[in-house]
């Protein structure tokens, strides 16, 4: 009797604080995933770094032996200056691109990477005035970009996702959840094909020293706004039509970013994912939910944006108000 009472009380306690338990498991899982990534990256990349360090030490020793008139301190100062210039996008190599880093098309490409928070880091402002303007430009431009992307994605999602799903549901009577799931998968496959595989094949042809994997890697790192900067197109020696090429890449990045956000929004509207996300949220009263629907909309967008551009500038879910999407569909149904 006592055991059954204790078991039932424990069950009620767990059920009452279910959201807190789920959130705790979520935090634990995220920390374990971070540790897992660190272990894998360290085990894979550390041997290559060690080999590169050994190779550089051998080259440096051999160079000093062949040029006895040059001291190690002088060589260190020279290499330090070359590396400093390289960090600002200026190369000392004879076969480096002869084009300027701050012509109009290159500056336009840089502005797009700043506003989208991709930030490759291959070109950075040299002057104090440029650095100060970059801060002011970003403070105004990043929220402006958020507003722009929100408006674009909301309109595209209506025509690409919500209306087709509602039409198939009403026309053939299939389950709306099933139609939405199939549509999300097909949309994801089409987006990956058009903005990852096809551009990767194009980049592998246009960039002399890129293979398909490296090109696909660039597409993913760019459209997920991680922007590591180890691969940047249009920086090769004697790049043909460099200005037009840079302009095309800028358009590709903006369109690809919109497409990625539309796909993420489509998946976030799936009933299964909504139900899964609610496991980790703090439950609210119905009256409070109705009062703060618009606030929840904006908070969802802000939190997703933090992951989109800020979490290592990594890949994130673009959640644009699950309540509003339901209301839009209901309103559209009533009008028809």
Domains plus CATH for the chain?
15-88 (no CATH), 99-279 (1.10.287.70)
Q: Cα-flanking dihedrals φ and ψ of residue 26, to 5°?
A: -65, -45
pLDDT band at 4; cut points 50, 70, 90: low
Per-residue confidence (pLDDT) for residue 118, from 0 to 100 = 87
Cβ count near 235 (within 10 Å): 20
Residue 298 has pLDDT above 50, yes or no: no
Phi then psi for residue 234, to 5 deg, are 80, 15
Phi and psi at residue 237, in whole multiples of 5°?
-70, 130
- Say how far residue 335 (Cα) sits from the centre of its chain: 37
pLDDT band at 8 (very low <50, low <70, confident <90, very high): low
Which residues, including other chains, have CB under 8 Å from residue 272's CB and lie 6 or more apart? 177, 181
Is residue 318 within 8 A of residue 264, CB to CB? The reply is: yes
Mean pLDDT taken over the chain: 80
For residues 161 and 187, give the distance between their C-alpha atoms in angstroms, rounded to a whole number: 9
Most confident of 84-88, 170-174, 300-304: 170-174
Q: Is the predicted pLDDT of residue 11 greater than 80, yes or no?
A: no
Predicted confidence at residue 319, as pLDDT, reads 37
């Amino acid at each position: 009797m006592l055991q059954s009472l204790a078991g039932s009380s424990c069950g009620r306690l767990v059920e009452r604080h279910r959201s807190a338990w789920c959130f705790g498991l979520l935090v634990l899982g995220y920390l374990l995933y971070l540790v897992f990534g660190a272990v894998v990256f360290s085990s894979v990349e550390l041997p290559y770094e060690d080999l590169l360090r050994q190779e550089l030490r051998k080259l440096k020793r051999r160079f000093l032996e062949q040029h006895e008139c040059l001291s190690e301190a002088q060589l260190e100062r020279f290499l330090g200056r070359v590396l400093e210039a390289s960090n600002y996008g200026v190369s000392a190599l004879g076969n480096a691109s002869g084009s300027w880093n701050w012509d109009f098309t290159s500056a336009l490409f840089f502005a797009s990477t700043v506003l989208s928070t991709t930030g490759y880091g291959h070109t950075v402002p040299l002057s104090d005035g440029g650095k100060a303007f970059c801060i002011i430009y970003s403070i105004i431009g990043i929220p402006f970009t958020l507003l722009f992307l929100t408006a674009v994605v909301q309109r595209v999602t209506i025509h690409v996702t919500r209306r087709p799903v509602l039409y198939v549901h009403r026309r053939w009577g299939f389950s709306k959840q099933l139609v939405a799931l199939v549509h999300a998968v097909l949309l994801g496959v089409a987006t990956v094909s058009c903005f990852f595989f096809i551009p990767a094949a194009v980049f592998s042809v246009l960039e002399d020293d890129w293979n398909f994997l490296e090109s696909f890697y660039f597409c993913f790192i760019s459209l997920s706004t991680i922007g590591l900067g180890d691969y940047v197109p249009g920086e090769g020696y004697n790049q043909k039509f460099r200005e037009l090429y840079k302009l095309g890449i800028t358009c590709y990045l903006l369109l690809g970013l919109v497409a990625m956000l539309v796909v993420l929004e489509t998946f976030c509207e799936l009933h299964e994912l909504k139900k899964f996300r609610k496991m980790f949220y703090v439950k609210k009263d119905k009256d409070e939910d109705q009062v703060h629907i618009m606030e929840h909309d904006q908070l969802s967008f802000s939190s997703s944006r933090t992951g989109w551009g800020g979490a290592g500038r990594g890949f994130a879910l673009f959640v644009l108000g699950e309540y509003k999407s339901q209301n839009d569909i209901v309103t559209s149904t009533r009008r028809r």
